[in-house]
């Protein structure tokens, strides 16, 4: 024996290393090692009864033993959580508002490893969280008597005790129904009963199971193990905050970590709404979020599907979906369109200030249907002549540049407006037709889709809402003289598209908007089918790709969202959504690494 440890636990004057009963409980060290109790602890199960026959000196209120159960109770309570089919869901069950689970308990004698009966009533007690609201975006617990997240009753949330009576007959099992009123709370179900030897038995079960106590259930952490979550390690992502409080989202080629939602908030999830045509909520649905994907909430205001809707002619629905997935979705950003959801709408507080649901930030795209101005206030809603027969409407949308704290709060409107589409300009692309169909030209009737040269069409500019001035116009083919509505401001090579060409097709007879006064060919719709070509062609025989008005608007929305997310300026990659020119809308499905690297999503209520 190497007598180098001369501390003396049992105060018998013999150093531990030389003491054959280190803890002085009357059992030799060798006996304790064989029996399973601790040689250096006189009370292995901490029940204040000495393991051995002696009460050692200097060890506090321990009474002499021997302790009949020195390793703890002979009895153990076993819990099983079962779903409505009776299947064991102890390790997999996750709470939802309105779901329930049956907690069943049995008593086991650990000496024989067999189940035995309880020797008395089984008392259930519930310890429950009471988080505000029921999901991450929920304000409060509306109209309910208690904010308990769990109850033993399906309706009354304050029932936290239940008794299963033995009633004279032995109880082999006892069970209680646990009802959840939240998507993220936690319940401890504790039972007390009696064992055959008259001792009290206790046990508890935490639901949902959370082995590492980081507020993220085992089942959810296992679902996201590929993202690095470890159900038995509260610091899967390093020291500091535990997993529940960390915000770890990354996105492809974006080194900015996090989307402003902690992992617990992502787990607890969001309640979305279904609405009818009057914008009344007809139902809700809940989604847990992906902790590895940044979550972006977008809403369109003043579109045909907004709440309230804009019902003016030709106003289109707010959409962000394109065939094959838009650029954000492809980059690993989860985009949630909350356009028709009133609780994500223009909520007002008691002072009339606009508020958003808690914990999330909404990127708002507003459809401007009244003017062609940009955010900066100057009007450039006219056609720009780039080169021979190469034209562009200069502004279809505009956006503030997001800064990571918010997408933008507009102090002038008092709203959280971020980006805009310009309806009149968008419609100019499709419906304004300053060019004529050469197939009707008596000099060249066979060549369909040839556009007139610039000097034969409008070269004067009329500001939106101003004018008109009546000017004579001679048709170069027929010699007929008509009058035109124009102002006298001459800007060569700039078309505003309001020039009403006459003589080839009948004027519009039903609904005529500013942008639909013309009825010959548009520079962007060479075959006159209501779909715009991109890239533009000056010959209908050369069309490669065409887009509907809705697609045109959607591509514009997606581009402007990029700016609101922090993409400052444009990229030099013609395949990228954020390229300077909208010469090819296929790129709405792709963001360059440069653009992606600037995206900032941070879910905070604003301003």
Interface with Ca ion (CB under 5 A): 210, 212, 214, 216, 247, 249, 259, 261, 266, 289, 293, 295
Nearest approach in angstroms of CB 143 to Ca ion is 30
Based on CB atoms, which residue is closest to Ca ion, 292 or 437? 292
CA dihedral 356, 590, 294, 363 (to 10 degrees): -10
Q: How many residues does the chain have?
A: 607
DSSP string, 481-496: EEEEEE-S-B-TTEE-
Single out the residue of 418, 258, 420, 436 nearest to residue 333, CA to CA.
258
Based on CB atoms, which residue is closest to Ca ion, 262 or 320? 262
Give the span between the Cα atoms of 377 and 20, in whole angstroms: 93
Nearest approach in angstroms of CB 345 to Ca ion is 22
128-164 in b/e form (b: 16+ CB < 10 A) is: beebebbbbbbeebeeeeebbbbbbeeeebebbebeb
Based on CB atoms, which residue is closest to Ca ion, 223 or 598? 223
Beta strands at 294-301 and 362-368: parallel, antiparallel or unpaired: parallel
Based on CB atoms, which residue is closest to Ca ion, 291 or 397? 291
Nearest approach in angstroms of CB 208 to Ca ion is 9
Based on CB atoms, which residue is closest to Ca ion, 119 or 326? 326
| Partners of residue 563 on adjacent β-strands | none
Nearest approach in angstroms of CB 291 to Ca ion is 5
Based on CB atoms, which residue is closest to Ca ion, 260 or 434? 260
Query: Edge to edge, what strands does the sheet with 397-399 contain?
Result: 333-337, 294-301, 362-368, 417-422, 397-399
Give the span between the Cα atoms of 58 and 483, in whole angstroms: 115
Nearest approach in angstroms of CB 258 to Ca ion is 5
153 within 8 A of 99, measured Cβ to Cβ: no
Give the span between the Cα atoms of 463 and 263, in whole angstroms: 52
Single out the residue of 149, 175, 161, 158 nearest to residue 94, CA to CA.
149
Nearest approach in angstroms of CB 259 to Ca ion is 5
Nearest approach in angstroms of CB 185 to Ca ion is 14
Nearest approach in angstroms of CB 346 to Ca ion is 25
Nearest approach in angstroms of CB 91 to Ca ion is 12
Which residue's entry shows tokens 């065409």? 546
Based on CB atoms, which residue is closest to Ca ion, 246 or 428? 246
Based on CB atoms, which residue is closest to Ca ion, 19 or 243? 243
The secondary structure element, H or E, covering residue 58 is none
Based on CB atoms, which residue is closest to Ca ion, 117 or 206? 206
Give the span between the Cα atoms of 335 and 294, in whole angstroms: 8
């Amino acid at each position: 024996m190497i007598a180098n440890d001369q501390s003396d636990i049992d105060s018998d004057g013999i150093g531990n290393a030389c003491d054959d009963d280190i803890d002085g409980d009357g059992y030799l060290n060798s006996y304790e090692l064989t029996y399973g109790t601790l040689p250096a602890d006189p009370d292995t199960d901490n029940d204040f009864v000495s393991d051995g026959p002696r009460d050692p000196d200097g060890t506090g209120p321990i009474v002499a033993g021997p302790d009949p159960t020195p390793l703890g109770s002979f009895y153990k309570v076993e819990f099983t959580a079962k779903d409505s089919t009776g299947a064991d869901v102890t390790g997999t069950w996750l709470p939802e508002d309105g779901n329930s689970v049956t907690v069943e308990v049995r008593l086991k004698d650990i000496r024989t490893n067999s189940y035995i009966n309880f020797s008395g009533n089984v008392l259930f007690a519930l310890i429950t969280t009471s988080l505000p609201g029921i999901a991450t975006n929920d304000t409060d617990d509306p109209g309910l008597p208690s904010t308990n997240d769990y109850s033993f009753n399906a309706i009354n949330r304050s029932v936290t005790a239940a008794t299963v009576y033995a009633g004279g007959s032995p109880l082999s099992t006892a069970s209680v129904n646990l009802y959840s009123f939240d998507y993220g709370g936690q319940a401890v179900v504790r039972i007390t009963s009696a064992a055959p030897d008259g001792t009290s038995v206790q046990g508890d079960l935490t639901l949902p199971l959370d082995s590492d106590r980081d507020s993220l259930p085992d089942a959810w952490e296992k679902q996201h193990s590929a993202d690095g979550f470890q159900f038995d390690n509260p610091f899967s992502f390093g020291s500091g905050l535990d997993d529940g409080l960390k915000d770890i989202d990354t996105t492809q080629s974006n080194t900015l970590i996090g989307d402003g939602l902690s992992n617990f908030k992502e787990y607890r999830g969001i309640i979305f709404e279904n609405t009818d045509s009057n914008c009344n909520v007809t139902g809700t649905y809940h989604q847990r979020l992906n902790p590895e994907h940044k979550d972006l909430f977008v809403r369109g205001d003043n579109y045909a599907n907004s709440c309230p809707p804009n019902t003016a002619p030709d106003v289109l629905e707010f959409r962000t979906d394109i065939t094959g997935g838009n650029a954000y979705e492809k980059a690993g950003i989860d985009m949630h369109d909350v356009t028709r959801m009133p609780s994500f709408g223009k909520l007002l507080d008691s002072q009339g200030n606009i508020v958003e649901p808690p914990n999330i930030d909404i990127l708002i795209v507003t459809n401007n249907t009244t003017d062609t101005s940009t955010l900066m206030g100057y009007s450039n809603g006219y056609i720009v002549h780039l080169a021979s027969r190469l034209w562009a409407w200069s502004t279809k949308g505009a956006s503030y540049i997001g800064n990571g704290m918010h997408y933008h709060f507009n102090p002038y409107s008092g709203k959280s407006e971020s980006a805009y589409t310009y309806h009149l300009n968008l419609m100019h692309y499709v419906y304004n037709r300053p060019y004529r169909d050469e197939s009707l030209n008596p000099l060249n009737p066979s060549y369909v889709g040839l556009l007139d040269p610039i000097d034969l069409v409008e070269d004067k500019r009329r500001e939106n809402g101003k004018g008109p001035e009546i000017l004579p116009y001679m048709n170069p083919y027929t010699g007929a003289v008509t009058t035109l509505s124009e102002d006298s401001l001459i800007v060569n090579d700039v078309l505003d598209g309001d020039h009403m060409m006459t003589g080839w097709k009948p004027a519009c007879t039903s609904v005529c908007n500013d942008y639909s006064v013309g009825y010959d060919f548009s520079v962007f719709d060479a075959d006159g089918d209501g779909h715009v070509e991109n890239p533009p062609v000056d010959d209908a025989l050369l069309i490669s790709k065409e887009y509907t008005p809705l697609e045109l608007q959607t591509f514009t929305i997606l581009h402007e969202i990029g700016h609101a997310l922090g993409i400052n300026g444009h990229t030099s990659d013609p395949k990228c959504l954020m390229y300077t020119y909208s010469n090819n809308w296929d790129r709405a499905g792709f963001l360059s690494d440069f653009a992606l690297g600037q995206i900032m999503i941070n879910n905070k209520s604003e301003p």
